[in-house]
Each structure stands twice: as C-alpha cells, then as structure tokens.
Structure 1
C-alpha cells in the first residue's frame, strides 16, 4: 500500500513537472525567440530564433539530469553545474530583456523559467535518505582498560616524531620580560 502511494505521488510530481514545463517552456521559448530576433541582423529567419530558444532552454534540463547521474555515480558535477548556471542565466536574461520595465514586469516575465528550474530540481533531486538515529556507544577493549577495569582516558593526540617539551625549557630572557 505504501509503495503504491509513493508511486502515485511520484507520477503526480512528474505530471506537474510536465504541465509546468509545457507552459513554462512555451513562455520561455517565446521570450528567448523574441529576444534573439530583436537582436539579430535584418533578414534572419525565424528558425534561428526558435533554434536559439530550444538550445538555451533544454540545456538546463540536460544539465540537471547529468548532475543527478553523476551524483549517483559519485562523479564530479562541476561542469554540468557550470552549464546549468550559464543556461539559466541566459534564459533569465531573455525573460528580463522582453519584460515590461519595472520589478513587477521582470518578476512576471521570469516566473516561467524560475518555476521550471525549481520544479525540475525538486523532482530530479530524489528523496532524501533517512539516517538511522540509534547511537552506538563503543565499549573499551581489554587493552583500553587499566588494572582496576576502568577505561583509560585518552590523552591528547600525539603526532609521530614530536617530543613534548616542558615550558621550563624555554626560560624568559630579561629583555623579553621587560616588554
């Protein structure tokens, strides 16, 4: 029963991601395409605007998937994280460039890109692992006990090659004492 509920919840999350992704993608693709065309030389075909939109909007998703795969494998996520930040920055720049000037215009224009990135991260991050809460207290071995059976208290950690020197070995010189 629990596995079935978790499966349904997972499917609902994916459905929400796809729905938000579809609408956010339509808005973001359009913003990037419009921004590209507004900043391209006269006579540039519409296909170029759409190509730019597809490239810049799908890279964050591919980067998120790659980050997830590499984390599972214990690999480095530096480069995909760099791509994610760059592509998300480009997408947000396009959103802001075509927005009505002012905080509300910028926020409303950025919502599709931010919502899709946030939901992608939420869904692709996976469930957190639960750590056991039991505390294990080790018992001292026979070598760690003194003759009375009491545990020997560990002293300060000693580094190999170092010999403790008492403070008395460093007498204060008269000139230093006057300071």
Structure 2
C-alpha cells in the first residue's frame, strides 16, 4: 500500500513504531494467553486428550479477535455492517478472559494480573487498527483560485430584471385508434378478430 502523499516522515515512523509495539505486545500476550487457554482446555477435557487440542483452542480463541478487528476496520472503510464481526470479537474476548480468570490465583490481584495480557492486546489492537486516516483532498481537484475583492472604485454590478415566463399549455397527443393496440399473441384488443 502506498503511503499517503501528505504523510510526513515522522507520521510514518510513528505508525511503524506503533505496529512494532503491537507485535511485541501481541507476542507476549499471545504466549501468556495461549498458555492459559491451553491449560484451561486440558484441565477441563477428558483424560487422554492430546495437548494439540489445547493449543488448537488457544489459537482459535486468540486469533478470532484479531481477525474480527481487521474485518471491522475494513467494513467501516467500505460502509458495511459490523454487527457480526463485533459479536465475534466480544465472544472471543469473553472466552479468552474466562480462561485467564479460570487459571488465575483466586482473588482480585490474581484475576487482574492474569487478565492483563488479553486486555492489553485487545486494547492496543483497537488503538492501532482503528486510527482514522487523515482526510485527503481530491487528487484531481483544481487548485483554489483567490477570490478577487471588489475595490471601492469598482462599479456595482447591475441587477437584472426578473424574467416572467408565460404559462405554456401542454400539448395533447393525437388520439390513437384502439385497433392499433395488439396483444402479445397478435390478436387486436378491439375491433374485428381475424380467424
């Protein structure tokens, strides 16, 4: 994607730094959240369930919010409905937070510390992905011309007299004989029927 021509170098650097921060937070939050979801899944699965199942649940529950955020951003740009992606986002975040809280040490501090990775990732994702682009002038718009200010010596423009138009009577179409109208099968609507 080509950067916007009015973006300064500082804007591009800030955007890049935000993306790098998001990726670092995502990496650490992903590691913590994936581990919590995997452990919660395996603790609540039947004996003998493979570890892959816990990792599969972790990947699914942690990547759905990122995909939902991207879809919401794209649909906002195109004017589409964001209802379903927003539902998926809320449901996935609720599942992830449930896993964080389920494996946490009981108590307020344990729950808060356990929920930090998921909340940080969601908060930063929303911050970075929902930044609105700056309004852009039309590329093919003609440059604005300065408006000439009237001087004190310039004569005032003449005001035109209003033009009054006489009403025009509508023209009446010529009458058409009913025999001119024919059904789709070729039979006239009125008049003699030929057999």
TM-score normalised over the length of structure 1: 0.71
What is the match of residue 83 of structure 1? 88
Q: Which residue of 2 aligns with 1:171?
A: none
The equivalences for 1:100-115 within 5 A come to: 100-115=105-120
TM-score by length of 2: 0.65
Q: Tell me by how many angstroms 1:128 deviates.
A: 6.2
Displacement after TM superposition at 1:114 (Å): 0.1
Paired with 1:79 and 1:127, the residues of 2 have a C-alpha distance of: 21
How many residues are aligned here?
130
Q: Secondary structure at the match of 1:25?
A: helix
Match of 2:130 in 1: 125
Q: Deviations over 1:82-112 (max 9, x none)?
A: 0000000000000000000000000000000
Whether 2:2 is the aligned partner of 1:3: answer no
Paired residue for 1:35, among 22, 37, 40?
40
Q: In the TM superposition, what is the alpha-carbon distance from 1:129 to its structure 2 partner?
A: 4.8
How far residue 126 of structure 1 moved from its aligned partner, in angstroms, is 1.5
Which runs of 5 or more structure 1 residues have no equivalent in the other structure? 131-179
Q: Considering only CA atoms, is the larger Rg found in Structure 1 or Structure 2?
A: 2
Say which structure, 1 or 2, has more relative contact order (CA 8 Å, 6+ apart).
1
Q: Write out aligned runs for 1:20-59 (5 A).
A: 20-59=25-64
Q: Give the secondary structure class of the aligned counterpart of 1:43.
A: coil
Aligned Cα root-mean-square deviation (Å): 1.4
Q: Distance in 2 between matches of 1:26 and 1:15?
A: 17
In the alignment, the residues of structure 1 paired with residue 87 and residue 31 of structure 2 have an alpha-carbon distance, to the nearest angstrom, of 24
The aligned residue for residue 100 of structure 2 is: 95
CA distance in 1, matches of 2:28, 2:72: 24
CA–CA distance in structure 1, aligned partners of residues 108 and 133 of structure 2: 35
Unaligned regions of 5+ residues in structure 2, if any?
1-5, 136-195
**Structure 2 Cα separation of the partners of residues 121 and 56 of structure 1:** 17
Give the aligned partner of residue 17 of structure 1: 22
